[in-house]
Chain A
Amino acid sequence: GQNIDQPTEMTATEGAIVQINCTYQTSGFNGLFWYQQHAGEAPTFLSYNVLDGLEEKGRFSSFLSRSKGYSYLLLKELQMKDSASYLCAVMDSNYQLIWGAGTKLIIKP
């Protein structure tokens, strides 16, 4: 079966760095997405990785290792507004997105 695993909840301190991991087992791979979802709101796109390596976008970076079936989202200089759920999703061989359950990130002052 297809499976995406990510931690249910993480806590971090304002100004710090946090890494949210995602491991996946899917039938085929056509890229991995990270989305941010604030409580009660729609998910919004953060990043897309299809090749191995690190993609940096401001305070957010996303890493992919296809051989390990592993990705992480790195958030630097955490701000209170980063409190949200972070969703990992993999596009499979049928070009369908398989979604993880999301990681709820709590930022403390």
Chain B
Amino acid sequence: DVKVTQSSRYLVKRTGEKVFLECVQDMDHENMFWYRQDPGLGLRLIYFSYDVKMKEKGDIPEGYSVSREKKERFSLILESASTNQTSMYLCASSLAGGPGNEQFFGPGTRLTVL
């Protein structure tokens, strides 16, 4: 059974803290993505990666950074958490090689920044 796992389902942090969200996939996928999902809005792409050590900015990268040291792991970092980063964070992965390749999602991390 293919799987994308995320390190925490729920997380509460304080303003200014550095926050790490981890994502691991066991499908040997090349592509990995970080989204945030807020009520009334579609999923918004924060960062993505098509290969190890490679990263590209999505639509809303400000306040975030990422790391991909191994193919199966893609980490999202909030350098200094702020209340407007309270959200559901979803990690996804997909195979390279075609636009029709579906993205597989992790269960999400609901982050609250106080």
* Contact partners of A43 in chain B: CB under 8 A: 43, 90, 105
The chain A residue sitting closest to B88, CB to CB, is A40
Chain A 77-107, CB-CB to B under 8 Å as 1, else 0, gives 0000000000101010001111111100000
B105 to chain A, nearest CB (A): 4
Do A87 and B45 touch (CB < 8 A)? no
Do B58 and A96 touch (CB < 8 A)? yes
Do A91 and B45 touch (CB < 8 A)? no
Do B42 and A91 touch (CB < 8 A)? no
Total A residues in contact with B, Cβ cutoff 8 Å: 23
Q: Is A27 an interface residue (CB 8 A)?
A: no
Q: Restricting to B78-114, which residues have a CB under 8 Å from any CB of A?
A: 90, 99-100, 102-108
- Complex Cα distance, B37 from A42, in Å, reads 11
A104 to chain B, nearest CB (A): 10
- Complex Cα distance, B108 from A91, in Å, reads 22
- Complex Cα distance, B4 from A96, in Å, reads 20
* Contact partners of B108 in chain A: CB under 8 A: 41-42
Do A97 and B107 touch (CB < 8 A)? no
* Contact partners of A100 in chain B: CB under 8 A: 42
Do A101 and B40 touch (CB < 8 A)? yes
Do A50 and B100 touch (CB < 8 A)? yes
| A residues in contact (CB < 8 Å) with B | 4, 8, 30-31, 33, 41-45, 48, 50, 87, 89, 91, 95-102
